[in-house]
Structure 1
Amino acid sequence: MPANDETRELSVEKRIDAPIDAVWKAWTGHLEEWWCPRPWTTELIERDLRPGGRTAMIMRGPNGEENVIEGVTLEVIPGRKIVWTDAFKQGWVPSDPFMVGTWEFTPEGDKTLYRGSARHWSDETYEQHKLMGFELGWGVAADQLEAVARRIAETVDA
């Protein structure tokens, strides 16, 4: 039986101490600052937040590791939701699929409920992502996103 009620979904939630506009700006405009847990870094090659738009980046580890990520945007609801997959490259060219990522932003007064989730094509990729440290890694990234969003909110309020 597939993991997690047949969705093979892993997710993290965080109540971010920043308004939704600042969180959205941090997510969409400052990805290189928060995307992967330090000391890893992210080089953003391209990100087109329109259905069919390309996202390409390279995550680099402290020991020379490189993880190239490429995929397409499936859905964007400005200020609320982004859905992306690596099952295709730009131009709808099929690729070796790993996941469908969904990032949701819900306003809660002057805070934001952030939810990032990954649905996997197989039990194997689900388990692989768990073993890679999904919960810790995406949790640390959410903390880093919050720091960027708070900085943006403070700049706007100043």
Structure 2
Amino acid sequence: MPDTDPALELSIETLIDAPVDAVWRAWTDHLAEWWCPKPWTTELIEHDVRPGGRSAMILRGPDGEEKNRLEGVILEAIPARRVVWTDAFAVGWVPQEPFLVGVWELEPDGERTRYRASARHWSEDLRDQHAVMGFEAGWLTAARQLEAVAQRIARG
């Protein structure tokens, strides 16, 4: 994938104390358990992790109120390595108002996993809006929640 304009990207990177296969299973099969920083929750409608697959969910606030609907398409899925998603399209390649392209990368690091997640935006305004929403703190909190799920999976 070509380099993106770094001025339009927000990203986090952390080391997850779980093997890459467990992190992949947590990412693909248990997304609703870790996606939103608690006390927020994720109602997963569909999460088809393959190129062209639909990813749709509703993010709910602590009192169950609907805060955000996310609808998009998986652009790339390399098992245990990388997922690329965008909200620029709904399933069937139907264009919609875009906010970002999300890129999640996993890299084995011994028995742990180097986890990098980035959000590539169409404009500085969208990037700034995402930063103000709490991108870094929120995505790092979600990564810690992902780690907890992956550790549970690794223990069997």
TM band (smaller chain): over 0.9
RMSD of aligned alpha carbons: 1.2
* Structure 1 equivalent of residue 18 of structure 2: 18
Q: Give yes or no for contact 1:16–1:112 (8 Å, CA) kept in 2.
A: yes
Provide the secondary structure at the position in 1 that maps to 2:51: coil
Residue in structure 1 matched with residue 40 of structure 2 by the alignment: 40
Counterpart-to-counterpart distance in 1, 2:142 and 2:85: 17
Hey, what does 1:56 align to over in structure 2? 56
Task: Name the amino acid aligned to 2:128.
Answer: E
2:24 aligned counterpart, secondary structure = helix
Structure-2 separation of matches of 1:34 and 1:14: 15
Identity %: 65
CA contact (8 A) 1:7 1:119 kept: no
- SS of the aligned residue for 2:151 comes to helix
In structure 2, the residue matched to 1:96 is: 97
Structure 2 counterpart SS, 1:79: coil
Query: C-alpha separation between the residues in 2 aligned to 1:21 and 1:143?
Result: 16
Alpha-carbon distance, 1:66 to partner: 2.0
How far, CA to CA, are the matches of 1:59 and 1:6 in structure 2? 28
Structure 1 residue ranges without an equivalent (≥5)? none
Q: Within 5 A, what are the aligned runs for 1:1-158?
A: 5-63=5-63, 64-155=65-156
Aligned length: 152
One-letter code aligned to 2:43: E
Q: How far off its partner does 1:52 sit?
A: 1.1
Letter in structure 2 aligned against 1:101: G
Question: Does structure 1 conserve the Cα–Cα contact (< 8 Å) formed by 2:58 and 2:66?
Answer: no
Gaps of 5+ in 2: none
Secondary structure of residue in 1 paired with 2:144: helix
**Structure 1 residue ranges, 4+ long, deviating more than 4 angstroms after superposition:** 4-7
